[in-house]
Copies of this chain bind each other. A is one copy, B any other.
Amino acid sequence: MAVIRNKTGKGNLLYAQSGGVTAVINATACAVIQACRRHRVGVYAGRNGIIGVLREELIDLAREDASAIAALRYTPGGAFGSCRFKLKSLEADRARYERLIDVLRAHDIRYFLYNGGNDSADTSLKISRLSAELGYPLNVIGVPKTVDNDLPVTDSCPGFGSVAKYTAVSIAEASLDVESMCESSTKVFIMEVMGRHAGWIAGAAGLAATHRDAAPHIILFPEVPFDQESFLARVKATVERVGYCSVVVSEGLKNRDGKFLADAGTVDAFGHVQLGGGGVGPLLAQIVKDKLGYKFHWAVPDYLQRSARHLASKSDVEQAYAVGKAAVEYALAGKSAVMPVIKRTSSSPFKWKIQAAPLDQIANIEKKLPSNFITRDGYGITAAARKYFEPLIRGEDRPPYDATTGLPKYARLKRVLVKKKLPRYDIAD
């Protein structure tokens, strides 16, 4: 269906965040708002993402100081709130889509920027289609974001570079600690990282292994079925050769039947009951203890890894800002149903540009770790992977710190809502 585009240059812009937030999604928000201000376009944000749009809870960004907007560039989390709320097909969720258009129309919103992953790209596409069907001129831009790095077309996803840097630095540091103590204390250290379906984050941890026998010694990917015997043999050999063994495991590690190891059923198979939401890291540590008798420690940084703005990658922050800026420019230039994606032109020196990709090439497609990124034995990353990952964690981009409290000076916005014009709407309806 042909998209009816807004080429008038009039109307307001709405920005909403979607899905799990990152250390740099607010850098994208910062770029969007700063670009709107430069172009004198009114700009709102959905409170808690699409939920707020449905409820007509729109944050009036004109009320925020320029300094607070600038500080978004280095503030983690989602400054306006995000949500896990997936719209179904246009047929199944027709009333909700129509409500969205009603809200946009009521506030003369002609540009909608939806900052998220696969699902959000799909929702953006549907909103674009419905607005055309309803004859409401609207430019819809999907803006990439996800620590999972699983969007197709784009070279990488803003948010990933920073979690990659956090993961590589953390395993390097913790392994120096373990190495110091291994003669008489912990011999095996296991760090569980995010990545339920793809091993991008686990793979990036491999960047820490810059020399022979450097940690991590074993990486367990969701893409490689877990083989307990082979794993234990590798742990044992590493402890005997190096003195200790550092393991990075993806939360999405599966057994040969394709079941998550962290799931209760699998855990039961080892004689244990799932505890506190499981965790494959603690489970593997217990297996190592039971079978090899080594003293172990495990870490699960969980949200710490995706919110660690204090250790953000400069490349990542720059890309997060660039996609936000481009999204506004595309929208104002009359583009719709596209996403600004990152096209890498050189790894060393790292060069990249932003270009527009059609959303229908991106929606609902998941990019897995390429098989040539994983070593033949399944436990490490290749030179090709290193070439890909390394530029993404290059450079530091630090928040300012308060000299008295010793803490980063993260932005706090006023988040004043625009006056409602429509009847109340219950999203549970």
Contacts and interface: CB of A to CB of B under 8 A. Distances in A.
A410 interface: yes
Given A77-B173, A172-B408, A181-B78, A299 B300 contact: yes
Interface stretch (A36-44, A132-140, A329-337, A395-403): A395-403
Nearest to A273: B273
Contacts of A304: 170, 173-174, 191, 299, 301, 304
Copies of this chain, whole number: 2
A176 B276 contact: no
Given A51-B183, A286-B275, A303 B307 contact: no
A202 interface: no
A310 B311 contact: yes
A73 to B, nearest CB: 14
Contacts of A298: 276-277, 300, 302
B297 A302 contact: yes
Contacts of A286: 275-277
A183 B48 contact: yes
Contact of A173 (B20, B282, B307): B307
A408 to B, nearest CB: 6
A81 interface: yes
A407 B210 contact: yes
A121 B415 CA distance: 54
Contact of A183 (B20, B83, B176): B83
A67 interface: no
Interface string A135-174: 0000000000000000000000000000001001110111
A82 interface: yes
Interface in A389-429: 390, 393-396, 398, 401, 403-408, 410
Interface in A46-82: 48, 51, 75-79, 81-82
Nearest to A80: B180
Interface string A306-325: 11111101000000000000
A20 B281 CA distance: 22
A84 interface: yes
Contacts of A169: 310, 407-408
Given A275-B267, A286-B276, A408-B169, A176 B299 contact: no
A177 B393 contact: no
B275 A165 contact: no
Interface of A: 17, 20-21, 23, 48, 51, 75-79, 81-85, 165, 168-170, 172-174, 176-181, 183-185, 189, 191, 207-208, 210, 267, 272-279, 281-286, 289, 296-304, 306-311, 313, 348, 390, 393-396, 398, 401, 403-408, 410
